[in-house]
Amino acid sequence: MYLLTTVEANSLREKISRSIQETDDNWCVLQHLLGCCLLAQARYGFHGVLKERKVHEAVRCFFRASSRQRASQALQDFSHIAGLPQLGFDGCASHAAWKLHYYQWVMQVFEQYNSSEGACQFALAALEHVEEALRQGDDFSSNDNESATNIKGRMWANVFKFSLDLNLLYDAYCAVLSNPDEESKHICLRRFIIVLYECGAMKVLCDGRLPFVGLAEKIEQELAWKAERSDVLAKPNAYKLLYALEMHRHNWRRAASYIYQYSARLRTEAILKDSQHVSLMLHERLSGLSAAINALHLVHPAYAWIEHLGEASSFPSDSYQSKKAKKTVKDQLAGNEIQAQRLQFYIDIEKLQNEFVLTSAEYWLSLSNVKWTFSGKDKVPSDVIDLLVQTNSYEMAFTVILQFWKGSGLKRELERVFSAMSLKCCPNKLGSTSTGTNVIMLTSSRDAMVVRGSSDVVPASQLSSQWETLEHYLETYKSLHTGLPIIVAETLLRTDPQIELPLWLVLMFKDNQKNRTWGMAGQESNPASLFQLYVDYGRYPEATNLFLEYVEAFASVRPSNLINRKRPFAVWFPYTTVERLWCQLEELINAKCNVDQCDKLKRLLHGGLLNHLKLLKVDSDDVLSSAAYHWENRKVVLGGAL
């Protein structure tokens, strides 16, 4: 170190003219020693800006040392006289070959001193002399049998390494593109991706700033290799990077395939994680499935499908219109049993949507600490609906039903759900007389539900919320199944025969009827259905009042609608059920049960029926008289015409 510092001091004091520099070979030796001195000082004696200045001066000195024609011989003679290690430049037949060797030697010196900037400059300088050195017939690489491609590949790999050390990502990628040695290029590319991945700079690959120039497929392969061997929850996530990369390239199907692989890995590895990460993994699965669906929506419907895991790499590019559509593939494989089995590996938007819905159900159940795992099969287990209803996840339950059931199956599942929801409104299974506050009832309600023989009290607010929820969803889905009000009312009456049906539920039976002058007929949930439920479950006062309500409405028709009432078969009442009610009241009277009440109801029913039958007789007589009158008028008209 002292020797090199002395050399530097003397060289700075010495005045050397340009003519001396051009003729004196010792000047090359002096620049060489000065470069070594400055480089050593930069490593051991300076920091920051001063260190960078020393490195830049050392670079200039080494370039000056190699600029003379006799620099090679001068440096060799000096090393021999001074007893220094040989530089290893013997046998170079041309100045270009010597420069190539010298620059590689200096590059290694800078690398040893951890100066990547200087090493990169001399690696680039060495690259400029490879072709000329070989063209002049130099035998410097005969010992290693290196071709120009191998030498350039090695030098570009060094440029790549030094650029990465300097965090010059764009320069490092350009070095990869410039590397003519395919093996070296792929090694550097893999290292480049690993470095980007580890330093969180993978967006550089996806923002379009780096030209792929034939490396797109290789980059994709390296990312896929990284994704398969990384933790599925690692950040940044290689699957998401692949998705972003393919979306940027407008390769929608590949993007959907990679993000679906991410979701599938989350599903298979979720059982290995603790319960604290289940909700997180389910949320990530939902995001992946949603992204896959969105990507496939950008593809023509005939090609909107992906292959199952392990076959994604065989996709044709989306830009080619000659690729086979899914329907064509199905037609070709229809007659081949072995190939037909491959159809199960094709996943279209419908299957992705089904999986998304079931994964959403699993996610909502996990939030309630209920464990249920989607098996990956298309068939929906019936228990998932029951679990969703038990955890009050009604919106999700209806979403699953609408996604997987149609026709009669849809109605059956809706009936099951509304029956279960109705049961939650009947905490007193032994027979309650109220339904809670904030619910409009036919009779007043108390502030809490008390189970007979028990000290348990159901808060009024909780019960009221159940009623409001039932009303909301019944209003929403009764258009899909008009018999849902019957299911709700029957469940309530069967569970608690003493319960008072809420007014909004009773109005659903009545409001379906367009005109009360037509009796108790109507849609599936009509007044006659409610009347029959009242009779079936012994609610005789409500049944009698309901029947009399419609009988009176029938009798009090306005004159403008009188003609409609007198039309044959335009009016219908459940006379068979009325007869059953009459018989039930007589049986109770004979059994001495509630004699006064039953007798009163029987008299009301008798009076209403008597008035109704009298009105029907009058209407019938009017119809006959009107028919006879019109017949006589017709005979007169016909007689006059004859």
Q: Kindly tell me if the per-residue pLDDT of 15 is higher than 60.
A: no
Q: What is the mean pLDDT of residues 264-271?
A: 82
Confidence at residue 562, expressed as pLDDT on a 0 to 100 scale: 55
Return the pLDDT at 382: 76
Number of H helices, E strands in the chain: 30, 4
d(CA 202, CA 370): 37
Sign of CA dihedral 296, 297, 298, 302: positive
Name the strand (E) or helix (H) holding 211: none
Given 3-state DSSP classes, what are the helix, strand and coil percentages for the chain, each rounded to the nearest 5? 70, 0, 30
Whether 465 and 392 have beta carbons less than 8 Å apart is answered as no
Segment 137-151 mean pLDDT: 65
- Give the mean model confidence (pLDDT) for residues 454-468: 70
322 pLDDT more than 70: no
pLDDT score at 485: 96
Residues 312/264, Cβ–Cβ less than 8 Å: no
Q: Quick: pLDDT tens for 185-208.
A: 999 999 998 898 888 888 787 777
Pairwise pLDDT comparison (229 vs 69), residue with the higher score: 229
Between 493 and 82, where is the model more confident?
493
3-state secondary structure string across 534-553: HHHCCCHHHHHHHHHHHHHH
Residue 551's closest CA among 526, 584, 518?
518
Q: What is the pLDDT of residue 132?
A: 83
Q: Stretch 265-292: mean pLDDT, rounded?
A: 83
Cα–Cα–Cα angle for 587, 588, 589, rounded to 5 degrees: 90
| Upstream peptide bond of 236 is cis (omega within 30 degrees of 0) | yes
Q: State residue 27's pLDDT score.
A: 79
CB contact at 8 A, 359 and 351 = no
The pLDDT mean for the chain works out to: 78
Range of lowest pLDDT (207-211, 255-259, 327-331, 548-552): 327-331
Q: Would you state the pLDDT for residue 403?
A: 93
Name the pTM for this structure: 0.74
% residues pLDDT > 70 (the chain): 69
pLDDT digits (tens, 9 = 90+) for 55-114: 899 899 988 888 776 666 677 666 555 444 555 555 555 777 888 888 999 999 999 988
Q: Nearest 5°: phi and psi at 550?
A: -80, -30
Percentage of the chain lying above the pLDDT 90 cut: 39
Q: Is the pLDDT of residue 9 over 80?
A: no
